Amino acid sequence: MVCNYHGKKNNEIKLMNLDHKYLENTLDWYYMCAKCHKIYDYLAGLVGNKKVKSIPNLIKNLKQLQNREEREQLLKEVILKSLIKEHNKEKE
């Protein structure tokens, strides 16, 4: 399968939840590869990482968006920015 967030083929696409509260709101659940899920957790501040700076209010900003397309667009933007930064640091 191809990950919707970074566009690369990945065999392991899983269901993830925006805030790890696992409520039944379907707008809070998204499919993404393990790598993007890990990056999202760092960016949202759900898991600590000294290399990846969390984005204040990311979860709040996502939940304020009313439809799935807007939320997916924001998710894609923040994940891709983080992947680009990570890639550029590896080149240095």
Identify whether 3 is part of a domain: no
Measured distance between the N- and C-terminal CA atoms of the chain, rounded to whole angstroms: 31
Beta bridge partners of 15: 31
Residue the block writes with tokens 């290399």: 51
Q: What is the pLDDT of residue 62?
A: 94
Kindly indicate the confidence band of residue 7, based on its pLDDT and cuts at 50, 70 and 90: confident
Identify whether 58 is part of a domain: yes
Q: How many domains does the chain have?
A: 1
- pLDDT tens column, 42-79: 999 998 877 788 999 999 999 999 899 999 999 999 99
- pLDDT tens column, 40-51: 999 999 988 777
**C-alpha 21: how far from chain center:** 16
Instruction: Locate 27 and state its tokens.
Output: 């707008």
Q: Among 16, 12, 76, 71, which residue's Cα sits nearest to residue 46?
A: 16
- Lowest average pLDDT, out of 2-6, 31-35, 43-47, 65-69, goes to 2-6
Identify whether 74 is part of a domain: yes
| Domain span holding position 40 | 13-91
Identify whether 49 is part of a domain: yes
Q: What angle do CA 43, 3, 40 make, to 5 degrees?
A: 10
Q: What mean pLDDT is predicted for residues 6-26? A: 84
